[in-house]
Amino acid sequence: MKSGKYFWLLAITAVAFQVSNAEVGFHGYMLNHSAIRIHSPYDAMLLRNRFRLNSELMGDNVYAYASVDFLNDVVIGDSTALNLREVYLDIYSSWVDFRIGKQQIVWGKADGYFINDIVNPLDLSLFLLQDFEDIRMATTMLNTKIHHGNNSLEILVIPEFKPMKMNFTGDWGFNRPDIFSVQDPGSGLILTIPISYGIDKLPKSSIQNFEYGFKCNLFLFGTDIALIYLKAREDKPVMRKAVEMTTIPNIGPIPTKINITPTHPWFTFFGANFSRPFGVFVLRGEGGYYPKRYFDFVPSDLSQLNTGMLTEKPFLQGMLGMDYQLTSQIDLSVQGIQERILDYEDAIMTDEVNTISSLMLRGSFANDTVLPLWLMLYNISNKSYLSRVSIDWKYSDSFTITVGADILGGDQETTAGQFNFGQFDQNDNLYLKVVFGF
């Protein structure tokens, strides 16, 4: 991995020297991000120092970019790390552009939710406490964009697979069960079986495992339309289960352990999105359809344990949103999101329908120097919510202070890794960000 990073740095340096009239630019920021729990035990949830350096090399038809983070976490792991966030090379021509390297792709129109925006895996190790540019993890790929006017076709070839980053312990650990209860059909007894989680099996980087996709961007009748196809592997692990049986004399075989192996099977995705202004409103929407996706399945009794406890079902997602300028200084955005498992069976652990609504009020006062925000994400299906209130104060062009609070609550019951705000009910926090940009 390290050699890969050095390769890119060398490649960019080489290009810089080759490009005539190349300009070099450096910018970035220093950040201190602190968060404290606002109820007992009032402990520090995050003390993070970051130095981000973005460097650019600009030639006539070539552009290179590298973004490096020096990250020091005092609370989480007490660690210091160097992270090459993004590094890519752009080559432009009059009708086709190439971007090769570690990059982020944003395909969706939704705010705070990922329906079409599924190319890059997510870093949910701090759930939604990080900025979105840090939640989305860059991956190495070749991005080819053929363009004509306001229409274009993007083609992605993604040789690197990277899984979603999520914790199962700590403040932002997702719930996952350690035991499984099932009824023995013979005796009628409820058996409690321990669960053992194996190591995530990542696919090898070979041509057969290259992910790929395309997005067709059209501007038709004043409407921005995108059509998406993606063939990729699940970033969020699909948990394959194998049951260990032990034969007890006079009773027979009984399950004594469930071994779970995280896997990343292929999926096919068809998506579309649009945005269009109507007077003072902007209407946005996006949808996604998976013909086949894996869902955890709860066997009704012992005889069904060997089914792998997974079932394949089609899956549908949709979002409709609207942006409206409430006053000259306040913008309002509302969204309604629904996910639905088609051909549903009651034994599936995930709910058939998941409905989420969001509301965002964003202000801009004192000529963009005071920027208040209120974001509310409410999961109607499991009655959980995230409410974020923050205010940015831009003291100068380079110095910004942000004070905010995240309040999470609602139903805490969830299946492993499910996007439920209630499971982080104890994580209400007050945060402070101090940023010096250069």
Partner 1 sequence: MNRLISMLMIALVVGLFSVMSLAQLTGRDIMEKVSERGDIKTEFGKSKMTLINDKGKTREREVIRYQKSYNGKDGIDTKALIFFEYPADIRGTGLLLWSYQATGKDDDRWLYLPALKKIRRIAGESKNEYFMGTDFTYDDMGDRNLDEDTHKLLGREKVDGVDCYKVESVPINKDDQYAKKITWIIPDKWVFQKVEFYDKNGNLQKVLTASDIREVDGIWTPHILFMDNLSKTHQTKIEIEEVKYNGEMSDQVFTQTTLERGKVQ
Token pair for 288: 């996604």
Q: For residue 297, which of 341, 333, 267 has the smallest C-alpha distance?
A: 341
Judged by beta carbon, residue 194 or residue 437, the one nearer partner 1 is: 437
Q: Does 282 bind partner 1 (CB under 8 A)?
A: yes
The pairing of strands 353-363 and 330-341 is antiparallel
**What is the distance between the alpha carbons of residues 353 and 194, in angstroms, rounded to a whole number?**
29
The site for partner 1, by CB under 8 A, has a size of: 51
217 binds partner 1 (CB under 8 A): yes
Q: Do β-strands 190-197 and 252-263 pair in parallel, antiparallel, or remain unpaired? A: parallel
Cα–Cα distance measured from residue 212 to residue 208, given in angstroms and rounded to the nearest whole number? 11
Q: Which of residues 22-51 bind partner 1 (CB under 8 A)?
A: 27-29
Count the Cβ atoms, other than its own, within 10 Å of residue 61: 11
Instruction: Please pick, from the candidates 152, 384, 402, 423, the single residue that binds partner 1 as defined by CB under 8 A.
Output: 152
Buried b (16+ CB within 10 A) or exposed e, 332-361: ebebebbbbbeebeeebebeeebebebebb
Q: Does 149 bind partner 1 (CB under 8 A)?
A: yes
Query: In this structure, how many other beta carbons lie within 10 angstroms of the beta carbon of residue 115?
Result: 22
Of 326-345, binders to partner 1 (CB under 8 A) are 328-329
Q: Which stretch binds partner 1 (CB under 8 A): 30-38, 39-47, 180-188, 367-375?
A: 367-375
SS3 395: coil
Single-letter amino acid, residue 139: T
Binding status of residue 61 toward partner 1 by CB under 8 A: yes
**15 or 349, CB closer to partner 1?**
15
Sign, CA dihedral 389-395-396-400, equals negative
Q: Which is nearer to partner 1, 70 or 197 (CB)?
A: 70
Among 232-240, 276-284, 353-361, 375-383, the segment contacting partner 1 (CB under 8 A): 276-284
Q: In the complex with partner 1, which residue's Cβ is closer, 168 or 219?
A: 219
Distance between CA atoms of 308 and 258, rounded to whole angstroms? 10
Determine which residue in the list 43, 301, 368, 413 makes contact with partner 1, applying CB under 8 A.
368
Give me 327's structure tokens.
């006053």
- Choose one: 40-48, 189-197, 251-259, 362-370; the region binding partner 1 (CB under 8 A): 362-370
367 lines the binding site for partner 1 (CB under 8 A): yes
Instruction: Considering the complex, state which of residue 258 and residue 435 has its C-beta at the smaller distance from partner 1.
Output: 435
Residue 188 CB contacts under 8 Å (≥ 6 apart), including other chains: none
Binding mask 88-127 for partner 1 (x = CB under 8 A): --x-x-x--x------x-x---------------------
Number of H-type helices and E-type strands within the chain: 2, 22
**In the set 369, 381, 412, 426, which binds partner 1 (CB under 8 A)?**
369
Among 6, 7, 219, 229, binds partner 1 (CB under 8 A): 219
For partner 1, the closer CB: 21 or 40? 21
Q: Which residues contact 78 (CB under 8 A, 6 or more apart)?
A: none
134 binds partner 1 (CB under 8 A): no
Q: Which stretch binds partner 1 (CB under 8 A): 39-47, 60-68, 190-198, 303-311?
A: 60-68
The reply to whether omega before 41 is within 30° of 0 (cis) is yes
Q: Are 265 and 203 in contact (CB under 8 A)?
A: no
* Nearer Cβ to partner 1 (191/370): 370
| String marking each residue 376-415 x if it binds partner 1 according to CB under 8 A | ------------------x-xxx-x---------------
Shortest Å, Cβ 214 to partner 1? 15
Cβ-contact 275, 225 below 8 angstroms? no
Please state the three-class secondary structure of 28-84 as a single string. EEEEEEEEEECCCCCCEEEEEEEEEEEEEEECCCEEEEEEEEEEEECCCCCEEEEEE
Nearest Cα to Cα of residue 193 among 262, 254, 261: 254
Least separation in angstroms between CB 106 and partner 1: 4
- Nearest to partner 1 of 112, 308 (CB atom): 112
CA distance 384 to 417: 15
CB of 430 to partner 1, least distance (A): 23
Q: Which of 419, 128, 113, 119 is nearest to 287 (CA)?
A: 113
CB of 348 to partner 1, least distance (A): 33
Nearer to partner 1, 110 or 302 (CB): 110
> Which residues of this chain interact with partner 1, rule CB under 8 A?
27-29, 58, 60-61, 63, 90, 92, 94, 97, 104, 106, 131-133, 145, 147, 149-150, 152, 217, 219, 222, 224, 275-282, 284, 323-325, 328-329, 364, 366-369, 394, 396-398, 400, 437-438
